[in-house]
C-alpha cells in the first residue's frame, strides 16, 4: 500500500491542520454539502472542526450538519441522499454504540450497491483493545458488511484515506466504505497535503480494466446473431442501471431495437413506466404481464441485475423458453453465478449499451408480433383490486396520489405491503425517483431515507409511503424533518399490523397471526406527528374524502403527515410464493390470470389461429 500524488497543488497545501480539520477539508474538496450524524466523545474534535469550517462562510459554502434522533437514521438519510442524487452520502458518528447503530445502514447500502462513506470516532490508539469506554471493534464488525473498511492508525495518511474512501465508494460496483478514526488521530496536527490517494494495485487495475472494457466487434456480432435468431426478446433491468446512471442508454437501446423491458424492484425508473415498451416490475410481486413476458420470451437480456431469489424464484424454471440469456454487469462475479448465460459482458452498463446501439445500426428487427402480444397481456392481465369495498383500499390511495403527482414525485418507502403497492401503482418518469430498501428489506428505512432524498432534491416533491410497523422503527425522525424544516410528505397506510407478515400467515400458516397484529397497540400517530411539530397532521378514514385530502396533503408547504386507515385484509397480488416458479403465480381474486397452457397449445394446432392472440403459446 502506497500513496499516489497528483501534480495539482491545493491552495491550502502546507497549512497546519489537526486531523479533524483535514477530514472536513477533504469532505469539502469532494463536494460534500451535507453530513448526517450524531456527536459523542470520540468524534467531538471532528464535530468542532465542522463548526469552525462553517464559521464566517456564506451558507452556500458551508457544510450542512443534520442531526437525527438515532445513528441508524443518519445512515438511512445518507443512503436516501446518495440514491436520489447519485453522489456519495456521508454520515459521521461516535465510537461504540454510535458505530454499531450504523451496521444496518452499512449492510443495507452494501446489498443495494449504494455509495456512502461512514466516518466513526474511535478511542485513542493506545486504548484500542482495552475495552475502553465506548470502544467497539468497528473494523472487525464492519468488514463483513462494507465494501471496504479503514482503521486510520497513521495520522500522516488520514487525508489520503478519506479521499480513497470516496474513490472506492463510487468506483465500479458502488458501495459503503467505513473509516474508523481514533480520537488522537483527529487531534494530531500536521501540514495539509491537499492531494494523494492510497494505492491498491489490484483494485486500481480492475477498475482501469472495467473502464477500458468495450464490446468488441466479435462480441457485438455474437450478440446480434442471438438477437437475430430471436422473436421475443426481453430486457430484464436491475438496480445497476440506476447506480451506473445508465437509464438514458437503456432507453435508447430498448427503442433502437424495439425490445420490451421488465425491471426489478431496484430497477424501477430505469425506463419510463408509462412507455409502451415498459412492462413494469417482475418477480414475487411483479405485474402478471411482466411475469408472463418472462415466461414467454426466447431471449432474456439482463442489465445490471443479479437473478436474486425474489426475481428468479425457482431458477430452473425462470425464463424457461429463453434459448439465449445475455448478461451485462459491472461485477464479473455476478455473471453466471445464478443463471447460465449464452453471451456476457463485464463492464459499465451505459458504455456497453451505447456500444451495442452503435454496433447494431444495420440491425433492423421486426418484433411486431411480440409487441402485439405484450400489448394484449398488459390489457388483459392488468393490476386490479377490490373496487367495490366500502373500506379504503391502499391501491386506490396510491392511484389517486399518482394522478396528483403525475409521476414526477420522488417516492421513498418503508418495507412491507405498502412498499409493493407503491412499486406497482406509481408512475416513474425518471431514474432516482424510487428510493427503497431492496435486498435487505429494512423496516424503518422510509422516513429517514425520504429526509435524505429531500435534502438532496430540495425542488422536488418527496413522499414517504410507509406502514405502521415500518414507521415505528425510526419514528423519532419525524422530529428531524420539522427541526430542519424538510418538506417531506409522510403518508402512513395503517392496517394495524405487519401486513406482509400477516399475508404470509394467512397463506402459509393457517391464519395464526403470531406477533403481527397491532390492533391493540395504543400509538396515535397523528398526535405523535403534532407533538413533533407537524403543522399538517391528519387522519383519513372516509373513502369519499380521499382525493381532497391527498391534494391538501401534497400542496401543504413544509413537512406534512397523513395517516390513512386502510382495509386490514388487503393483500398484495400478484404473488409468486418463495421458491416457486412463475407458473405458480397467484393473481388473487381481482387480476385476470391467463388460461391454462394446455388449452392454448390445443388451439394453436389450428393454423388459422392468430398466434399473437394466444398468450400461453410462447
Of 9, 61, 133, 595, the active-site residue reads 133
DSSP annotation string for 290-315: HHHHHHH-SEEEEES----HHHHSSG
Q: Is 545 a catalytic residue?
A: no
Query: For residues 343 and 96, what is the distance between their CA atoms, to the nearest angstrom?
Result: 47
Strand partners, 413: 465
Of 142, 500, 575, 585, the active-site residue reads 500
- Using N-to-C axis directions, what is the helix angle for 446-456 and 71-85, rounded to 10°? 50
Query: For residues 584 and 597, what is the distance between their CA atoms, to the nearest angstrom?
Result: 12
Q: Is 31 exposed, middle or buried (0-12, 13-18, 19+ CB in 10 A)?
A: exposed
Closest CA to 185 of 148, 149, 160: 160
Task: Name, in order, each residue with C-beta under 8 angstroms of 266's C-beta and a sequence gap of 6 or more.
Answer: 112, 238, 239, 242, 436, 438, 439
Q: Is 71 a catalytic residue?
A: yes
Task: Name, in order, each residue with C-beta under 8 angstroms of 553's C-beta and a sequence gap of 6 or more.
Answer: 489, 491, 536, 538, 560, 562
Of 30, 134, 204, 363, the active-site residue reads 134
DSSP annotation string for 552-593: HHHH-SS-EEEEEE--TT----SB--TT--GGG-B-TTTSPP
The distance of Cα 370 from the centroid of its chain, to the nearest Å, equals 31
Q: Is 207 a catalytic residue?
A: no
- Phi, psi angle pair for 194, to nearest 5°: 85, -5
Of 22, 142, 159, 183, the active-site residue reads 183
Task: Name, in order, each residue with C-beta under 8 angstroms of 379's C-beta and a sequence gap of 6 or more.
Answer: none
Are 335 and 360 contacting, i.e. CB atoms less than 8 angstroms apart? no
HSE (CB half, 13 Å, CA atoms) of 598?
Answer: 0
Helix (H, G, I), strand (E, B) or coil at 105: helix
Of 17, 22, 53, 71, the active-site residue reads 71
Helix (H, G, I), strand (E, B) or coil at 343: strand
Element (H, E) at 500: helix 499-508
* Beta-strand pair 116-122/89-93: parallel
Are 249 and 354 contacting, i.e. CB atoms less than 8 angstroms apart? yes
Q: What share of the chain is helix, strand, coil (3-state, %, to 5)?
A: 40, 15, 40
Closest CA to 193 of 21, 1, 57: 21
**Buried (b) or exposed (e) across 472-505, using 16+ Cβ within 10 A?**
bbbbbbbbbbbbbebebbbbbbbbbbbbbbbbeb
Residues labelled catalytic:
71, 133-134, 183, 500
Amino acid at each position: 500500500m502506497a500513496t499516489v500524488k497528483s501534480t495539482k497543488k491545493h491552495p491550502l497545501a502546507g497549512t497546519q491542520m489537526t486531523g479533524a480539520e483535514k477530514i472536513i477539508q477533504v469532505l469539502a474538496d469532494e463536494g460534500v454539502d451535507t453530513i448526517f450524524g450524531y456527536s459523542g466523545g470520540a468524534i467531538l474534535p471532528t464535530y468542532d472542526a465542522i463548526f469552525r469550517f462553517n464559521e464566517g462562510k456564506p451558507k452556500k459554502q458551508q457544510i450542512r450538519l443534520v442531526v437525527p434522533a438515532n445513528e441508524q437514521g443518519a445512515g438511512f438519510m445518507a443512503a436516501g441522499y446518495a440514491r436520489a442524487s447519485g453522489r456519495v452520502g456521508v454520515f459521521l458518528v461516535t465510537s461504540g454504540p454510535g458505530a454499531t447503530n450504523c451496521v444496518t445502514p452499512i449492510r443495507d447500502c452494501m446489498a443495494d450497491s449504494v455509495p456512502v462513506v461512514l466516518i466513526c470516532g474511535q478511542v485513542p490508539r493506545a486504548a484500542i483493545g482495552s475495552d475502553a469506554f465506548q470502544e467497539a471493534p468497528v473494523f472487525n464488525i464492519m468488514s463483513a458488511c462494507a465494501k471496504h473498511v479503514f482503521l486510520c492508525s497513521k495520522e500522516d495518511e488520514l487525508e489520503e484515506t478519506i479521499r480513497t474512501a470516496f474513490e472506492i465508494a463510487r468506483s465500479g460496483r458502488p458501495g459503503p466504505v467505513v473509516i474508523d478514526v481514533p480520537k488522537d488521530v483527529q487531534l494530531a496536527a500536521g501540514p495539509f497535503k491537499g492531494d494523494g490517494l492510497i494505492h491498491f494495485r489490484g483494485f486500481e487495475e480492475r477498475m482501469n480494466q472495467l473502464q477500458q472494457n468495450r464490446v468488441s466487434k466479435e462480441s457485438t456480432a455474437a450478440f446480434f446473431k442471438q438477437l437475430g435468431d430471436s422473436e421475443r426478446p426481453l430486457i430484464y433491468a436491475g438496480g445497476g442501471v440506476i447506480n451506473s446512471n445508465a437509464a438514458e442508454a437503456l432507453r435508447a437501446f430498448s427503442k433502437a431495437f424495439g425490445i420490451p423491458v421488465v425491471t426489478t424492484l431496484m430497477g424501477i425508473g430505469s425506463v419510463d413506466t408509462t412507455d409502451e415498451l415498459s412492462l413494469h416490475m417482475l418477480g414475487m410481486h411483479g405485474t402478471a404481464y411482466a411475469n408472463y413476458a418472462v415466461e414467454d420470451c426466447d431471449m432474456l437480456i439482463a442489465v445490471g441485475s443479479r437473478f436474486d431469489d425474489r426475481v428468479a424464484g425457482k431458477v430452473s424454471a425462470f425464463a424457461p423458453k429463453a434459448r439465449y440469456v445475455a448478461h451485462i454487469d459491472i461485477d464479473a462475479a455476478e455473471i453466471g453465478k445464478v443463471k447460465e448465460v449464452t453471451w456476457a459482458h463485464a463492464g459499465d452498463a451505459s458504455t456497453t449499451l451505447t456500444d451495442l446501439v452503435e454496433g447494431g445500426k444495420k440491425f433492423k428487427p421486426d418484433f411486431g408480433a411480440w409487441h402485439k402480444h405484450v400489448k394484449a397481456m398488459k390489457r388483459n392481465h392488468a393490476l386490479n383490486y377490490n373496487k367495490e369495498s366500502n373500506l379504503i383500499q391502499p391501491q386506490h390511495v396510491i392511484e389517486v396520489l399518482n394522478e396528483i403527482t403525475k409521476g414526477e414525485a420522488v417516492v421513498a418507502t418503508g418495507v412491507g405491503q405498502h412498499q409493493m403497492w407503491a412499486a406497482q401503482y406509481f408512475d416513474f418518469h425518471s431514474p432516482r425517483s424510487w428510493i427503497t430498501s431492496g435486498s435487505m428489506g429494512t423496516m424503518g428505512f422510509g422516513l429517514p431515507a425520504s429526509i435524505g432524498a429531500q435534502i438532496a432534491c430540495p425542488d422536488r416533491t418527496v413522499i414517504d409511503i410507509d406502514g405502521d410497523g415500518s414507521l415505528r422503527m425510526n419514528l423519532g425522525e419525524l422530529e428531524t424533518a420539522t427541526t430542519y424544516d424538510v418538506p417531506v410528505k409522510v403518508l402512513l397506510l395503517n392496517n394495524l399490523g405487519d401486513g406482509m407478515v400477516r399475508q404470509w400467515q394467512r397463506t402459509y400458516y393457517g391464519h395464526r397471526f403470531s406477533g403481527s397484529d397491532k390492533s391493540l397497540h395504543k400509538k396515535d400517530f397523528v398526535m405523535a406527528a403534532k407533538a413533533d411539530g407537524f403543522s399538517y397532521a391528519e387522519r383519513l378514514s372516509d373513502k369519499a374524502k380521499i382525493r381532497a385530502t391527498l391534494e391538501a396533503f401534497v400542496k401543504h408547504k413544509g413537512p406534512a403527515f397523513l395517516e390513512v386507515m386502510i382495509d386490514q385484509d388487503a393483500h398484495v397480488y400478484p404473488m409468486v410464493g418463495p421458491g416457486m416458479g412463475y407458473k405458480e403465480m397467484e393473481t388473487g381474486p381481482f387480476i385476470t390470470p391467463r388460461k391454462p397452457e394446455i388449452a392454448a397449445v390445443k388451439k394453436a394446432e389450428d393454423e388459422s389461429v392468430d398466434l399473437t392472440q394466444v398468450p400461453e403459446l410462447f
